[in-house]
Structure 1
Amino acid sequence: MSDVSSPSSPSLSGPRSILRLVQVFARLGTHSEGQTLAQLCQSLALPKTTLFTMLKVLEHADYLTNTDGVYRLGPQAVALGKIMAESPQRSFPHCAKDALQALSESTGETGFLAILTPDDRYCTYVAAVETDNWLRFSVKVGSQKPSYATGSGQAMLAYIPDARLQKLLADLEFAALTPKTVACTADLTLRLQQVRKRHVSTVDSGTVAGVTSVAAPIFSADGAVMAAVTVGGPTSRVNKSLEAVEDAVRASAIDISRILGYRGQWPA
């Protein structure tokens, strides 16, 4: 395989050429059957000679393949796409820092991110931004809580594959952390159904009496639930603007999911 920048290869330069390269990749990425030179010229509104030179460069470097005049993404383009898709996930939760900060500021409450442990029994808090309010809910990064009892946990459990959920429920022991903690499988199942319907989990006094958490699921590029973004604060204060808080948390979850490469709708 020759390097795209080698002296013997055709060359492209300039900002317009970079944009055209992206347009070619995007077009072929959404047309797995491939595209001919004529089809690409028509869809991208590019001169035939300019586009032909570009395609030859990409083909020479294995970013495209050419079979009987039909161009498709090549192995180098596929490898590049995989790297780009995985990059945001590798930087999580750092890549969500600004979104989390904005959520905390807009709601006036502590915002935090959580992920499930491998056995789905606990959620681990991986990032937090505390509000300036003197009366606030504090989260220690690295701490864990039972997933069934928290807004974060329920937001994620609602979207894990059913086989995983059934395995968890088969021998899950419920502990009454507060008088309002979810107490049985039937109750938890109903709550998870509500989360899938509303795309948000609101839990009053799940693990700490007098604290309400509002959480929404975060999805990775492949559509799998990856984490949850949550706001937590005194129930008396959160409930005064609960609808607005829920809307803000849902919007933040969508923003972070987009950062991670997710482009779909909320899974049903």
Structure 2
Amino acid sequence: MSEGRIIQSVARALNILELFESSRDLSVTEIASRLDLSKSTAFGLINTLAHKGYLEQNPRDSRYSLGLKVLRLGGAVQRHNIIASRAKPFMEKLVQEFSETVHLTVERNGMVVYIDKIRGDKAVFIQSAIGAENPMYCTAVGKCLLAYMPEAKLERLLSKMQPLERRGPNTITDIAELRQELQAIRERGISIDDEEHVPGLMCIAAPIRNHDGEVVAAISISGAKAGISSKLVGRISEKVAWTAQQISGEM
């Protein structure tokens, strides 16, 4: 763990949340006493946490308990862990068959987040890591997640992405063209990044759905474009789509 600077106010706020591991509800006085804080300092931190939804105050007795935001974050961790555990054996099979790198991703705050990665044997360096983020509009997994997103959320994210920065020689930088690409992805069920994010790199992705049919993740194969022939693109696309369907069935 990094030994860099610790922000005291952040540490104190997290200490407050950790108190609720063993207590259902607490008053401001109890929180201040347990953490050796002044009542005014404790109240400021508690009020901030409540404003952000991490704590809730009972209007009857003014005591605080954990808020729904904590439950949402915990649910996100659980969902991501479930997706990764279900997908892992299928990801391993893809790597064994094609010897290329396989990624598993979700959307978070308008970015693609990698929740698992298995590197293939083929000698191509792909700069990605579990927990890392990348833009959505120029990655195969990102476009895949955008394509199946609810319309209102899609429009909100697209408005924040503009202008679309060029990342590779084939990056889509026109929003109207990107909309057409998303429609094409929905029609074929496959998303392709052909040197849109990184020069020389090609990625092929497909959507993973939960038990309600909602797209919650995307899986992809990434490799050097020079080593992926047009015939191989077709075979990889079919296998990635089939794999995504199998994982969706496991969900």
**Fold conserved between structures, TM > 0.5:** yes
Change (3 A) 1:92 1:171: closer
Aligned-partner Cα distance in 2 for 1:95–1:171: 32
SS at match of 2:114: strand
Count of aligned pairs between the two proteins = 172
SS at match of 2:170: coil
**Superposition map of 1:97-246 within 5 A:** 97-117=88-108, 119=109, 121-173=110-162, 174-240=164-230, 241-246=232-237
Aligned-partner Cα distance in 1 for 2:80–2:158: 28
Alpha-carbon offset, residue 135 of structure 1: 3.0
**Aligned-partner residue type, residue 180 of structure 1:** N
Which of the pair has more CA radius of gyration? 1
Structure 1, gaps ≥5 residues long: 1-86, 261-268
Structure 1 residues 168-203: Cα deviation after superposition (integer angstroms, max 9, x where no partner)? 122322111122111021111011011001000011
Q: Assess if the C-alpha contact under 8 Å between 1:130 and 1:138 holds in 2.
A: no
Q: What TM-score comes out, normalization by structure 2 length?
A: 0.65
**Aligned-partner residue type, residue 145 of structure 2:** M
Q: What TM-score comes out, normalization by structure 1 length?
A: 0.61
Q: Assess if the C-alpha contact under 8 Å between 2:190 and 2:205 holds in 1.
A: yes
SS at match of 1:229: strand
**1:256 corresponding residue in structure 2:** 247
**Aligned-partner residue type, residue 215 of structure 2:** V
SS at match of 1:149: coil
Aligned-partner Cα distance in 2 for 1:169–1:91: 29
Identity of aligned residues (%): 27
Structure 2, gaps ≥5 residues long: 1-77
Q: Assess if the C-alpha contact under 8 Å between 2:114 and 2:130 holds in 1.
A: yes
SS at match of 1:148: coil
Change (3 A) 1:89 1:171: closer
Aligned-partner Cα distance in 1 for 2:245–2:155: 27
Alpha-carbon offset, residue 149 of structure 1: 0.9
**Aligned-partner residue type, residue 197 of structure 1:** E
**2:82 corresponding residue in structure 1:** 91
**Aligned-partner residue type, residue 158 of structure 1:** A
SS at match of 1:228: strand
**Aligned-partner residue type, residue 123 of structure 1:** V
Aligned-partner Cα distance in 1 for 2:168–2:81: 36
Structure 1 residues 35-69: Cα deviation after superposition (integer angstroms, max 9, x where no partner)? xxxxxxxxxxxxxxxxxxxxxxxxxxxxxxxxxxx
Change (3 A) 1:136 1:167: same
**Aligned-partner residue type, residue 208 of structure 1:** V
Structure 1 residues 86-145: Cα deviation after superposition (integer angstroms, max 9, x where no partner)? x9875221221000111121222111100001x3x2100110111112235353111111
Change (3 A) 1:221 1:207: same
Aligned-partner Cα distance in 1 for 2:128–2:158: 26
**Aligned-partner residue type, residue 225 of structure 1:** V
**2:44 corresponding residue in structure 1:** none
